[in-house]
Amino acid sequence: MLYKSFFHIPTIGAATEKKIWDCGICSMDDFLNSPPDFIPSKKREIIFEHIKLSMEKIQENDPVYFTDNLPPKEHWRIFNQYRNSCVYLDIETTGLEFYNSHITSIAMYDGKNIKYYVYGKNLNDFLNDIKEYKVIVTYNGKTFDIPFIEKFFNISLNHAHLDLRHILKSLGFSGGLKSCERQFGIGRKDLLGEVDGFFAVELWNDYKRRKNVKALETLLSYNIEDVLNLEYLMVEAYNRKILETPAKAFPLCHGKKPLNPFKIDENTMKYVQRVVSINRY
């Protein structure tokens, strides 16, 4: 889809891009070979230069150039080109405040391998592992996950970032991650469906307070399930977005979802449910 896009080029908005496609020009090469008549010659020359630069950036494996020049809801356009460089990421924390809370766990999934990191164990390994990827995919990560990580580790993550919250909203899907999962028919049917951010905090507290390893495993199961479902939602969002364009892009196949290496512990869930009920009310 990226070779078929013009929206990232200065002076080309959604209406102009559609008009280009409607002229039968469905790729950058098409434009170079036969530019549309409705674009003035001087403007064509500028677009030619930006198309050549875009092709160079693709060859250089530089997705940031495109996410820097596209609105967040259009970042889906890079996904097919950089799918093999993507990692799906989600964090859990002790709270929402950047200054008074810390990360408890981080889960990552790259379409093949699951990686997870735990505070007090291997959390700093994340710093090297994240360098293996060019693109980060999150849900609401622009607002929460990425700023929290950058503050916590005192780093800058300069990856291209696809935030599914913005992409799915442009398709008419809103709410939290689990709400979107239900809307796409992949809602969690076990006890993980009852876990939310507040619940995840109490799982961590139970792990620390009672040395309950089962609480940590339940937390990791929840954290990892998030990133496994992000891949499904990203592919589904891409496929639905291309249906909105006349650029004749091909849909992508869903990857095979791996087994979650952790399971929930029902006794821990019942205990934490009681704690959550008391604290909430």
Per-residue model confidence as pLDDT tens digits over 130-144? 999 999 999 999 999
| pLDDT value at residue 25 | 94
Residue 195 has pLDDT above 70, yes or no: no
| 243 vs 214: CA distance, rounded Å | 44
Burial letters 11-49, b for 16+ CB under 10 A, else e = ebeeebbebbbebebbbbebbeeebbeebeeeeeeebee
Instruction: Report which residue type is found at 272.
Output: V
Q: 109 with 257: CB under 8 angstroms?
A: no
The interaxial angle of helices 213-242 and 197-210, nearest 10 deg, is 160
Question: What mean pLDDT comes out for the span 76-92?
Answer: 97
Which helix or strand (DSSP H or E) is residue 104 part of? strand 103-109
Per-residue pLDDT band for 99 (boundaries 50, 70, 90) equals confident
Per-residue model confidence as pLDDT tens digits over 30-78? 999 999 999 999 999 999 999 999 999 999 999 999 999 999 999 999 9
| pLDDT value at residue 142 | 97
Instruction: Report which residue type is found at 148.
Output: F
Per-residue model confidence as pLDDT tens digits over 106-134? 999 999 999 999 999 999 999 999 999 99
Per-residue pLDDT band for 281 (boundaries 50, 70, 90) equals low
Residue 193 has pLDDT above 60, yes or no: no
Per-residue pLDDT band for 244 (boundaries 50, 70, 90) equals confident
How many percent of the chain have pLDDT more than 70?
95
Burial category of 200 from C-beta neighbours within 10 Å (exposed 0-12, middle 13-18, buried 19 and up)? buried
Dmax over Cα atoms in the chain, in whole Å?
72
Among the residue ranges 74-83, 185-194, 244-253, the one predicted with the least confidence is 185-194
The 8-class DSSP code of residue 94 comes to S
CA-to-CA separations, 209 to 44, 118, 202, 272, in angstroms, rounded: 65, 16, 10, 12
| pLDDT value at residue 194 | 59
CA-to-CA separations, 30 to 21, 24, 247, 250, 261, in angstroms, rounded: 10, 8, 11, 18, 47
Burial category of 131 from C-beta neighbours within 10 Å (exposed 0-12, middle 13-18, buried 19 and up)? exposed
Domains of the chain, with CATH numbers?
Answer: 2-60 (1.10.150), 79-280 (3.30.420.10)
Q: 138 with 167: CB under 8 angstroms?
A: no
